[in-house]
């Protein structure tokens, strides 16, 4: 193969090379550059269907699924207890319980690929709990669990792509244990609420968009054809 062909092949390989990630998990808030406020789904006690959609501040399309209907819950003394810095007063939550008393976790959220994703989660019971997150990078996934304090305060649960590449495409949340407080109904692993979804998108680190790779590949292809035309012209002259 001549040098022009090698250059062309290299350009195609750069444009099409797959990316391999390294998922890690975080239990503290990060410096996000995008978010999804669930108030767009409706005011307090609005029913949410098992499949729903939302839009981030940065206009990313978010798709959500529950095993049945859920609802919104406004963080107020009469709706869902506030915990400053976690479930803040006035926040709108997604609650996995429906108006019929059914509990419909897990909650799954999918979106265009991001670098980092996370949210605050709390069991609908006044006691300690553990929450599991499963994060997907396409067909590849990993899971871990985080534990609350003995009071059952909200915990932050998220996933991070340690290569700083935008590869995380969805997350799923569910409780793996919960504690029933005295004189209350038994806790349910599918009964919980989540607050604002926080995202870190490629804009924060200048990661090239897929279109940039396509432009790079097409530019190298054009460069290859230019060299080929010049080579043919020299041959004809000779």
Q: Which two tokens stand for residue 13?
A: 């390989």
- Which pLDDT belongs to residue 203? 75
Give the pairing type, strands 116-123 and 129-137: unpaired
Q: Please provide the average confidence, as pLDDT, over all residues in the chain.
A: 83
Kindly report which listed range (17-26, 41-50, 113-122, 228-237) carries the lowest average pLDDT score: 228-237
DSSP character string of 173-211: EEEEEE-PPTTSPPP-TT-EEE--EEEE-GGGTTPPPHH
- Enter the tokens of residue 174: 């569910």
Q: What is the pLDDT of residues 195-207, one digit of tens each?
A: 999 999 997 444 3
Instruction: Please report the pLDDT score of residue 232 as a whole number.
Output: 36
Confidence of residue 1 (pLDDT cuts 50, 70, 90): low
Q: Roughly how many angstroms between the first and final C-alpha of the chain, as a whole number? A: 22
The tokens describing 4, both together, are: 């022009």
pLDDT in the model for residue 235: 37
The ranges assigned to domains in the chain are 23-209
pLDDT digits (tens, 9 = 90+) for 132-159: 999 999 999 999 999 999 999 999 999 9
Average pLDDT for residues 31-54, to the nearest whole number?
A: 97
Q: How far apart are CA 35 and CA 159, in angstroms?
A: 15
Domain 23-209: CATH class, spelled out = mainly beta
> Is residue 184 predicted with pLDDT exceeding 80?
no
Query: Regarding predicted confidence, which is higher, 115 or 186?
Result: 115
Q: Which token pair is 149?
A: 């304090």
Task: Tell me the pLDDT tens digit for each residue of 44-85.
Answer: 999 999 999 999 999 999 999 999 999 999 999 888 999 999
Burial of 106 (0-12, 13-18, 19+ CB in 10 A): middle
State the pTM of this model: 0.77
């Amino acid at each position: 193969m001549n040098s022009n062909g090698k250059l062309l092949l290299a350009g195609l390989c750069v444009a099409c090379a797959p990316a391999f990630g390294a998922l890690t998990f975080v239990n503290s808030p990060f410096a996000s550059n995008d978010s999804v406020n669930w108030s767009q789904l409706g005011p307090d006690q609005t029913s949410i269907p098992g499949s729903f959609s939302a839009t981030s501040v940065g206009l990313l399309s978010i798709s959500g699924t529950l095993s049945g209907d859920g609802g919104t819950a406004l963080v107020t003394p009469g709706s869902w207890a506030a915990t400053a810095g976690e479930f803040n007063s006035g926040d709108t939550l997604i609650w996995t319980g429906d108006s019929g008393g059914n509990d419909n976790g897990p909650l799954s959220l999918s979106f265009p690929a991001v670098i980092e994703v996370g949210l605050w989660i709390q069991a609908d019971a006044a006691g300690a709990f553990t929450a599991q997150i499963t994060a997907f990078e396409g067909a590849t996934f990993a899971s871990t669990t985080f534990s609350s304090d003995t009071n059952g305060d909200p915990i932050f649960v998220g996933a991070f792509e340690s290569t700083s590449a935008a590869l995380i495409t969805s997350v799923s949340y569910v409780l793996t244990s919960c504690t029933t407080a005295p004189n209350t109904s038994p806790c349910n692993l599918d009964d919980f609420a989540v607050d604002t979804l926080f995202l870190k998108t490629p804009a924060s680190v200048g990661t090239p968009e897929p279109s940039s790779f396509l432009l790079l590949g097409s530019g190298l292809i054009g460069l290859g054809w230019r060299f080929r035309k010049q080579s043919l012209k020299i041959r004809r002259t000779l």
